[in-house]
């Protein structure tokens, strides 16, 4: 039993305003795995006050960037040294396969290092060459910290979401209040322990597990200068409206309904082997999952059959079992949501190739869903337009390349996508036509040096690398 009975506020463990602890249960079998304090508005007030005081005092924001980078590098080393515990806690809370959470640890290192490289090379201050060489005036352009950052993250990938905001925000000299999901109280409590061991100055970072109402209280707080949010598009719209009313800076990484285009010359077996990871990792609870599979009519049944065989080969069960690929959904309501979409797909007339709404046999205690493949899907169907966030794949036929691009772009979202072809140059041509923030060719992994984010309803702003770091700064021009 893991217990966090205090909250990490301003760098110190503090008694919560509400002493009641929330019980956390395993998505696998509903056993109790821990208890944790949950933040209330009074705790948010304390955290924001600490962040405001530390920022206004200026010690951290005036610390040279190279020294801020050194602190964050120390944090990254601590996380690497505790990678097994990080992976274990995320798997325990989320139901993600343990091999997956372990395999993701090097990615956290690459993500952090990309930010730190960007911070080292960032143009924090530069003198502009005047366009008129005879002018006695020249300009200095500075990039300064925004202020107090409210970072709000979802449950599906807690460490990645947390560090993708904490590291650039702190590197830029801001103070941060990180609001995490109650389901991740244990892994994020451990994150707070690592931050404490890093030795960061007092007041600049807090970690608060809290419900949606308290989250809205935080983002609405008058002392918050910037909101950095990852989560659903619905919640993002609400946050954007609050930011608009209060003229807060805001960045939003939201949902997706990404398409993978299998071009006629693609190696279908290679594509399907790659889509096993690109579409179904983390139990399908991933915003970048490529769940709309676009297949040419001439090879349509070949693609459908290959996907059916692949999905039916996946082990569903206990996430701690090394042979498990698909674990449970995080909560019973998420399980029911995914099952209801499967039922909807049947009602809409899609062909059920494998899977279905039934709970896998022998796994009735957990929040399990049977991995499902639908064929003969029309892109206008709700199952093709709405984010399901579970192990459900849709195979949509297309007539020619123009039709494939049209279908891929016919979505309210634009977060990710993929192209599969034996001709890399041709695949790149198709990738350039997709209205989406990131595109992978032949299953390439996401690069952390490049900007990550979405078009359309998939968000505003970008994360990762120099572009992501820049969203936590303000421009100042000084003329001399």
| Residue-wise pLDDT tens digits, 139-185 | 999 999 999 999 999 999 999 999 999 999 999 999 999 999 999 99
**Residue 246 token pair:** 């209060």
Q: Which residues are catalytic?
A: 253, 287
Domains of the chain: 2-254+458-479 (3.40.605.10), 259-447 (3.40.309.10)
- The pLDDT value recorded for residue 370 is 98
Which pair of tokens denotes residue 111?
């993500």
The pLDDT of residue 135 is above 90: no
**Model pTM score:** 0.96
**pLDDT greater than 90 at residue 134:** no
What pLDDT score does 297 carry? Answer: 98
Q: What is the pLDDT of residues 306-339, one digit of tens each?
A: 999 999 999 999 999 999 999 999 999 999 999 9
Q: What angle, rounded to 10 degrees, do the helices at 105-121 and 158-171 form?
A: 10
Name the percent of the chain lying above pLDDT 90: 97
Return the pLDDT at 222: 98
Whether the per-residue pLDDT at 136 is higher than 90: the answer is no
The terminus-to-terminus CA distance of the chain in angstroms comes to 62
Confidence of residue 92 (pLDDT cuts 50, 70, 90): very high
For the stretch 60-84, pLDDT in tens is 999 999 999 999 999 999 999 999 9
**Residues 6 or more apart whose Cβ sits within 8 Å of residue 414:** 256, 435, 436, 437, 454, 455, 456, 457, 458
pLDDT in tens, 445-454: 888 999 999 9
Task: Give which of 473, 293, 302, 299 is closest to 392, Cα–Cα.
Answer: 293
Cβ-contact 294, 260 below 8 angstroms: yes
Question: Could you tell me the CA-to-CA distances from 362 to 155, 283, 339, 367, 369 in Å, in that order?
Answer: 26, 18, 17, 12, 12
- Whether the per-residue pLDDT at 385 is higher than 90: the answer is yes
Cα–Cα distance, 433 to 414 (Å, whole number): 12
Model pLDDT, residue 137: 87
Q: Tell whether the model's pLDDT for residue 132 goes beyond 90.
A: no
Tokens encoding 344: 């909807």
**What pLDDT does 130 receive?**
83
The answer, yes or no, to whether residue 129 has pLDDT greater than 90, is: no
Q: At 169, list the tokens.
A: 């925000």
What's the mean pLDDT in 196-200?
96
Report the C-alpha gap between 6 and 459 in whole angstroms: 33
Average pLDDT of 359-380?
Answer: 97
Contact assessment for residue 178 and residue 205, using Cβ atoms and an 8 Å cutoff: yes
Q: Is the pLDDT of residue 133 over 90?
A: no
pLDDT at residue 262, as a whole number: 98
Sheet holding 473-479, edge to edge: 125-128, 139-145, 473-479
Give the pLDDT confidence score for residue 325 in this predicted structure: 98
Q: What average pLDDT score do residues 241-253 get?
A: 97
For residue 23, name the pLDDT band (cuts at 50, 70, 90).
very high
Residue 62, phi then psi, degrees to nearest 5? -90, -5
pLDDT at 116: 97
The predicted-structure confidence for 28-72, as pLDDT tens digits, reads as follows 999 999 999 999 999 999 999 999 999 999 999 999 999 999 999
Residues 6+ apart with CB under 8 A from 187: 86, 89, 90, 93, 158, 159
Q: What is the mean pLDDT of residues 400-423?
A: 98
């Amino acid at each position: 039993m893991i217990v966090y009975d205090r909250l990490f506020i301003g760098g110190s463990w503090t008694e919560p305003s509400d002493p009641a602890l929330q019980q956390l249960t395993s998505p696998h079998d509903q056993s109790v795995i821990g208890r944790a304090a949950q933040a209330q508005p009074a705790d948010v007030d304390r955290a924001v006050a600490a962040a405001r005081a530390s920022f206004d005092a200026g010690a951290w924001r005036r610390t040279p960037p190279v020294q801020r980078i050194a602190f964050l590098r120390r944090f990254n080393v601590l996380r690497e040294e505790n990678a097994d515990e990080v992976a274990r806690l995320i798997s325990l809370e989320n139901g993600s396969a343990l091999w997956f959470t372990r395999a993701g640890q090097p990615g956290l290192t690459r993500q952090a290092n990309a930010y730190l490289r960007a911070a080292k090379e960032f143009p924090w201050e530069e003198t502009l060459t005047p366009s008129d060489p005879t002018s006695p005036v020249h300009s200095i352009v500075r990039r300064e910290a925004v202020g107090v950052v409210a970072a709000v993250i979802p449950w599906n990938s807690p460490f990645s979401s947390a560090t993708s905001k904490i590291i650039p925000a702190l590197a830029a000299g801001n103070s941060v209040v990180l609001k995490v999901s109650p389901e991740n109280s244990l892994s994020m409590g451990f994150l707070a322990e690592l931050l404490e061991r890093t030795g960061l100055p007092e007041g600049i970072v807090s970690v608060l597990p809290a419900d949606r109402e308290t989250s809205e209280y935080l983002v609405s707080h008058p002392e918050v200068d910037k909101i950095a949010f990852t989560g659903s598009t619905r919640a993002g719209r609400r946050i954007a409206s609050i930011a608009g009313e209060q003229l807060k800076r805001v960045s939003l990484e939201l949902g997706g309904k990404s398409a993978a285009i299998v071009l006629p010359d693609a190696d279908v077996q290679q594509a399907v082997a790659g889509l096993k990871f690109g579409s179904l990792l983390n139990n399908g609870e991933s915003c970048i999952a490529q769940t709309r599979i676009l297949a040419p009519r001439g090879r349509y049944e070949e693609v459908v059959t290959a996907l059916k065989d692949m999905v039916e080969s996946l082990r569903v069960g206990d996430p701690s079992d090394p042979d498990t690929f698909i674990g449970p959904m995080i909560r019973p309501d998420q399980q029911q949501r995914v099952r209801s979409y499967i039922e909807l797909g049947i009602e809409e007339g899609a062909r059920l190739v494998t899977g279905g709404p039934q709970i896998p046999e022998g796994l009735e205690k957990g929040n399990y869903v049977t991995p499902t493949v639908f064929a003969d899907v029309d892109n206008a169907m709700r199952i093709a337009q709405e984010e399901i966030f579970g192990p459900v794949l849709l195979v949509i036929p297309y007539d020619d390349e123009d039709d494939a691009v049209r279908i891929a772009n016919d979505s309210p979202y634009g977060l990710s996508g993929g192209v599969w072809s034996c001709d890399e140059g041709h695949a790149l041509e198709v990738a350039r036509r997709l209205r989406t923030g990131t595109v992978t060719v032949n299953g390439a992994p996401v690069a952390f040096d490049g900007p990550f984010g979405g078009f359309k309803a998939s968000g505003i702003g970008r994360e990762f690398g120099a572009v992501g770091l820049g969203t936590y700064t303000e421009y100042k021009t000084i003329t001399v």
